[in-house]
Amino acid sequence: MNERVTSARPLRKRFLAAGASMAVGALMLSGCAQSQREEKPSAGTSQDVGAGAEAVDPTFIFAASSDPKSLDPAFASDGESFRVSRQIFEGLVGTVPGTADPAPMLAESWTNSDDGLSYDFKLKSGVTFQDGTPFNAEAVCANFDRWYNFTGIQQADSVAYYYSSLFKGFKDKPEGAVYKSCEAVSDTEAKIDLAEPFAGFVAALSLPAFAMQSPTAMKEFKADEISGSAESPVLSEYAKGHPVGTGPFKFDKWSPGDNVELSAYDNYWGDQGQVQKIVFRMIDDPVARRQSLEAGDIDGYDLVAPADTKALKDAGYNVLSREPFTILYLGLNQKVKELQDVKVRQAISYAIDKDALIKQTLPEGTKKAIEFIPDVVNGYNSDVEAYDFNPEKAKELLKEAGYPDGFTIKFNYPTGVSRPYMPTPEQVFTNISAQLKDVGIKVDPQPNKWAPDYLDRVQATADHGIHLLGWTGDYNDTDNFVGVFFGQEKPEFGFENKALFDKLTKARGIAVLAEQTPLYEEINADVAKFVPAVPLAHPAPSLAFDSRVESYPTSPVNDEVFNEIKLTK
């Protein structure tokens, strides 16, 4: 057995001690401090609410850009769902503060076999779910077996996106499935066997989609009873109003279109921190979010419009940027006749001036993309075809493809939302549309409200053309970007490429980094030649806070839990 994690130190550090240096990316707004998660204080010990400032208001109001798609993280893939989920749920694995790297959470340590097919997790003891159900190895196996036993609509990309993308198969369709079985060896030891090696297995468990959920609550509120269709799924009773995890905050209520309310879980195993109540207020317009902060109606918001950053800083608000761990891309659906020709896809790539797009529509700190992973991720290949802006080359390729006068195509884009990789979708749409028009490609605008209409349309149907979408990386692995996008046939991109699929499957099973890296470099070059989509930029999302917010645990993968926030009043 190879020891991968020997420390039993709990991961998510909750108590903010002034004067210590911070981990990379976990930024302080004033002073210099390091978050330090501790065991929950014994009865009668201060919870540090208002420590050193008795008048601290423990209610934290955060403006979300949209409703969550689902309160059941296993059936979600969007950032606003996961923002809520991270407060309620925890996984076996978390992240090192300020990074995308895995670290212990509900699992204190783990070992794996030499062949990468067996993992033993040593679990934290004394932890309970918010409904009183004990967290133990049986609960771990209940969650893993639940995912593997998804059937019908539950398996759709629009529903169980992450499990389908990363674990590849289900009990009724085991061909190529990664997961095999889970055994509760004891209350505090779970053994998980894989059918296929998956180098990113441990890191993937840091995703909210694989958080531990109460088996009792899932059964009582029929978590798996989803109806509707893959294009328009209808959530279960559990996913709409009864999520139960082990996290520092428990669910109170969700008023769609208005807010989600959470409150501190009294029996939380770690430190609860100062924030005792969270209100996620739905404000889909970036201007309205800024105005709400300026009016004192909210404490903070994400996805600050690029044009607002300087003005907010000058006015005394605290503005933070996350390290870019994102990708914004223009998706190309090859079910559309014109897009089946690689020359057309290349022409679209050459037609876009990424530098102008970034300068005019994206936040300060954004980097131009030439491939679908940030340059800090293993497998990045700086020698791929970059498709530098060349409108004349684009026109030439269109002519060679049989479209000397261009053509008209549907251009799908979301409304009523801001995303970390795309704070102002309408501006990005307008900018790219004008650039495509310059080379003869006219667009048929296809706006849809983000959730559920837009995501369902571009991810679950063939009824879309070119489209805007993106990704915030979940952990530091090429498979989490390129494998998720292009590892299997998907309605979003509409292509079958067995050679690419096979290479990605092979790469994700190689445990030795020195052997894996050159294959991923080759894959990124292949993707650049094939052009299934156009990588546009790696945006650096910004957040803005009221001056009372002294520190906030910024994370490149959005692993930001609000009991780590420090307030001054």
CA 496 from centre of chain: 25
CA distance 181 to 183: 7
Query: Residue 103's pLDDT is what?
Result: 94
Nearest partner of 533 among 479, 568, 463, 482, judged by Cα: 482
pLDDT at 6 over 50: no
Nearest partner of 77 among 187, 10, 158, 168, judged by Cα: 158
Number of Cβ atoms within 10 Å of the Cβ of 266: 10
CB 379 within 8 Å of CB 415 = no
CA distance 534 to 206: 28
Hey, which residues does 2 pair with through a beta bridge? 112
Nearest partner of 173 among 154, 197, 191, judged by Cα: 154
For 315, the token pair is 């006015």
Hey, which residues does 94 pair with through a beta bridge? 103
Q: Residues 159-182: what's their mean pLDDT?
A: 93
Query: Residue 32's pLDDT is what?
Result: 32
Query: Residue 451's pLDDT is what?
Result: 75
Query: Residue 305's pLDDT is what?
Result: 87
If DSSP codes are grouped into helix, strand and coil, which group holds residue 162? helix
Domain-wise residue ranges, the chain: 56-67+248-322+541-568, 89-242, 326-538
For 492, the token pair is 């979003």
Query: Residue 217's pLDDT is what?
Result: 98
Our CA angle for 225, 230, 234, nearest 5°, is 40
Share of the chain above pLDDT 90, in %: 77
Tokens 């240096």 correspond to 21
Query: Residue 354's pLDDT is what?
Result: 98
**C-alpha dihedral (249, 253, 256, 259), degrees to nearest 10:** -60
CA distance 199 to 103: 15
Tell me the three-class secondary structure of 323-363, residue by residue.
CCCEEEEEEECCCCHHHHCHHHHHHHHHHCCHHHHHHHHCC
Alpha helices in 337-466 (DSSP H): 342-351, 354-361, 391-400, 425-437, 455-460
Sign of the Cα pseudo-torsion (391, 396, 401, 407, in order): positive
CA distance 521 to 71: 37
Q: Which residue has the higher pLDDT, 44 or 568?
A: 568
CATH of domain 326-538: 3.10.105.10
Q: Residues 209-221: what's their mean pLDDT?
A: 98
Q: Per residue in 336-370, pLDDT tens? A: 999 999 999 999 999 999 999 999 999 988 999 99
If DSSP codes are grouped into helix, strand and coil, which group holds residue 431? helix
pLDDT at 4 over 80: no
Q: Which run of H or of E encompasses 486?
A: helix 482-486
Query: Residue 75's pLDDT is what?
Result: 97
Query: Residue 15's pLDDT is what?
Result: 32
pLDDT band at 54 (very low <50, low <70, confident <90, very high): low
CB 107 within 8 Å of CB 172 = no
Query: Residue 19's pLDDT is what?
Result: 32
Q: Per residue in 260-316, pLDDT tens? A: 999 999 999 999 999 999 999 999 888 999 999 999 999 999 989 888 999 999 999
Q: Per residue in 453-508, pLDDT tens? A: 998 999 989 999 999 999 988 888 889 899 989 999 999 999 999 999 999 999 98
CB 409 within 8 Å of CB 465 = yes
Our CA angle for 458, 535, 517, nearest 5°, is 110
Per the document, the length of the chain is 569
Q: Residues 137-145: what's their mean pLDDT?
A: 98
pLDDT at 26 over 70: no
CA 332 from centre of chain: 21
Query: Residue 186's pLDDT is what?
Result: 98
CA distance 5 to 49: 33
Q: Which residue has the higher pLDDT, 392 or 364?
A: 392
For 449, the token pair is 């409200």
Query: Residue 14's pLDDT is what?
Result: 33
Provide CB contacts within 8 A for 419, sequence distance 6+: 65, 79, 303, 425, 470
Helix crossing, 342-351 with 391-400: angle to 10°?
160
Q: Residues 189-210: what's their mean pLDDT?
A: 94
CB 99 within 8 Å of CB 322 = no
Q: Which residue has the higher pLDDT, 510 or 9?
A: 510
Please state, rounded to an integer, the average pLDDT across all residues of the chain. Answer: 90
Most confident of 53-57, 174-178, 237-241: 237-241
Strands 59-64 and 300-302: parallel
CA distance 391 to 453: 33
Query: Residue 10's pLDDT is what?
Result: 38
> Running DSSP on this structure, what letter comes out for residue 307?
G
CATH architecture designation of domain 89-242? Alpha-Beta Complex (3.90)
Strands 407-415 and 466-472: parallel
CATH architecture designation of domain 56-67+248-322+541-568? 3-Layer(aba) Sandwich (3.40)
Q: Residues 53-69: what's their mean pLDDT?
A: 89
pLDDT at 220 over 80: yes
Q: Per residue in 31-46, pLDDT tens? A: 333 333 334 333 333 3
Q: Per residue in 432-451, pLDDT tens? A: 999 999 999 999 999 999 87
Q: Per residue in 72-125, pLDDT tens? A: 999 999 889 999 999 999 999 999 998 888 999 999 999 999 889 999 999 999
Query: Residue 364's pLDDT is what?
Result: 86
pLDDT band at 416 (very low <50, low <70, confident <90, very high): confident
Number of Cβ atoms within 10 Å of the Cβ of 438: 12
CB 469 within 8 Å of CB 161 = no
